[in-house]
Amino acid sequence: MPMLDAYIPEGALAPSDEKELVSKLTDILLEWEGADPANPVARSIAWVFVHRPTEVYVGGEVPDEPRYRIVASVPEGQLDARRRQGMVEAVTKAVLDAEPEDRSHDPSRIWVFASSVPEGTWGGGGRIVGLADIATFVLDGDAAAGKAHAKRRLAAAKAERDAIFS
């Protein structure tokens, strides 16, 4: 159940290029979460909100080229350090590839934030939805596989956090 907030400055991309980028960002996020981007069930819960800032400033000035901010929100456990890094690289490349050829191919113009929503705090459909619920939905109702997936991913996320603070 990934959610993406894409801050794309007004007029930065041609409408067709932006539409293609949004589809590509959906694919990237699903892939790095470990889901099949071709799975219509997984795609049905992968939402992208496009925000259109009319002005973005860098150091108090309007820059010569657009700046982008992409915030990927995923349930806790879905993106470990390797997956976060891969997702950030893939998103950055996709944004740069969507731009007109006459712009610099400067990755420092794109900021990507991988945000993990703590287990027990994701709300959808009027209730709290855990990682096991989401995995069960994507896995065609296989509750045992959904629970196993959540248990593995949440344990790995805890181990990664513990390693940082030890």
pLDDT 10s digits, 138-159: 998 999 999 999 999 999 999 9
The answer, as to whether pTM is greater than 0.85, is yes
Question: Quick one: CA dihedral 121, 122, 127, 130, positive or negative?
Answer: negative
**Contact status, residue 112 vs residue 87, Cβ threshold 8 Å:** yes
Q: What percent of the chain has pLDDT over 70?
A: 99
Q: What integer best gives the mean pLDDT of the chain? A: 95
pLDDT confidence bin for 1, thresholds 50/70/90: low
Strands (DSSP E) along 105-159, which ranges? 110-117, 123-124, 127-128
Write down the pLDDT at residue 132. Answer: 95
Of 89, 5, 49, the residue nearest 97 (C-alpha): 89
Say which CATH class 3-119 falls into: alpha beta
Domain boundaries defined on the chain: 3-119
Please give the average per-residue pLDDT across 41-51, as a whole number.
96
